[in-house]
Structures are given as C-alpha cells and as structure tokens.
Amino acid sequence: MKIKLIMLAMCCMSVLAQESKPASCCQSHKAEVAVCPELPGTSIFHLKTTWKDQDNQDFTLSQLAGNPTLVAMIFTHCPDACPRIMADLGIIDKALEANDNVRYLLVSMDPKRDTPAVLKDFAKRWNLDMRRWTLITSDQAKVLEIAAVLGVKYQSTADGDFNHSNQIALIDDTGVIIHKQLGLSSDPAETISFLRKWLNPNQL
C-alpha cells in the first residue's frame, strides 16, 4: 500500500511537470489507479497541500485514490446547514449499507476553531465509522484553495461563523468530480442512485 502511494505521488509529480494530460487508463479500473502512470488533469489529487486529519496525522488528497469519495466542506460549530449536510451524508451511507468501497471526506472551513481534536469530537458526536470517514483541517489559504477547486463559496460572519454553499461532491477513484448535490433541499436519492450506478455499472 505504501509503495503504491509513493508511486502515485511520483505519478502526480510527473503529470504536473509535463502539464496535465487526459488519462485513458485511470478512469477504467479501480485496481489500476494507484499504479496508473497518469491522473486526469481535472483530478483534485493534483492539489499537493498537506492537511491534518482528526488524529493530527498528515493527510493529502491523493490518499483517497482507489475509492469514490463524498466530499463536503463544513464547520463543526455550524448551527443549521452543516448538520443537514451531515444528515444527508448519513442517509447516503445508510442507503449504500455502509459500503466499504465508499469514503467520506469532511473539510473544515474553520481552521481557527476546528482543530484535529475538535474534529475528532465531532466525528464521535455523529458516530462516524473512522475506517471510511476522514475529517481534515489546515489554514485559511488551503481552505480557499480547495473551496475554489470544489466550487464551494463561503464567507465568515461577524460572530465567527460562516455563510457557505451547501454541497456534497462525489469524486471518483482518480479524484475527478463526477457528481454534485447542491443546496439543502436536494434529495440525496439522486446521489445514491448515481453512486450505485457508478459502483455497479452493469446493473440495470
């Protein structure tokens, strides 16, 4: 696994060095991803920034390679919108019967308050299965960067909270955004059905 990750990191470096090229093999088969010589140019795995996860361990987005991942930007003090995003993610997870192949990434937009320890408490509060869920935090510059890549808008308010877009993005096993659930009134059924089809392309 470690070797595969190192190879993946080397792949990314070479892709960045030669400009992004569209991949042919990366999109076709999960098992090939970690050793694939190229990543799609639109892969978020090209972001090389290092985050801290809920266990205060270094985390880079390319660690998600090999599995589809649902990604949401949240802040743990959010009184209303983020709990609804969490509820939707819970509905999706339950509908997929806690599928081991599906990962979840929560990116905090509030690095001041959302320390790794706070993220860990939040994960406990929501009873998240840490084999499949990762919560990350960093600094404002990295949050801005990933928000731009994901298309999430956010703005701090006078009381230290945030107004923000409500979005659940689905990235494939190569880090390409393949689906978005936008807004709080969206039905997660659409995301569930999209993900089911992606996981089982031959099923009717």
For residue 176, CA distances in Å to 22, 68, 130, 180, 199 come to 11, 9, 23, 11, 15
Residue facing Cu ion at closest CB distance: 78
User: Considering the complex, what minimum distance in angstroms separates the CB of residue 81 from Cu ion?
Assistant: 4
Candidates 5, 7, 47, 78: give the one binding Cu ion (CB under 5 A): 78
Q: Cβ closer to Cu ion: 78 or 96?
A: 78
Candidates 5, 47, 81, 177: give the one binding Cu ion (CB under 5 A): 81
Q: Cβ closer to Cu ion: 78 or 178?
A: 78
Using the structure block, give the residue that is written with the tokens 């999430």.
152
Q: Is 106 in the site for Cu ion (CB under 5 A)?
A: no
83 torsion bin: left (phi>0), alpha (psi -120 to 50), beta (else): alpha
Q: Is 82 in the site for Cu ion (CB under 5 A)?
A: yes
Give the interface segment with Cu ion, choosing from 9-17, 70-78, 128-136, 187-195 (CB under 5 A).
70-78
Give the interface segment with Cu ion, choosing from 44-52, 77-85, 124-132, 182-190 (CB under 5 A).
77-85
Q: Cβ closer to Cu ion: 19 or 80?
A: 80
Size, binding site for Cu ion by CB under 5 A: 3
Neighbouring C-beta atoms of residue 128, cutoff 10 Å: 21
88 vs 115: CA distance, rounded Å: 24
CA 199 to chain centroid: 17
Neighbouring C-beta atoms of residue 131, cutoff 10 Å: 9
Q: Which residues bind Cu ion (CB under 5 A)?
A: 78, 81-82
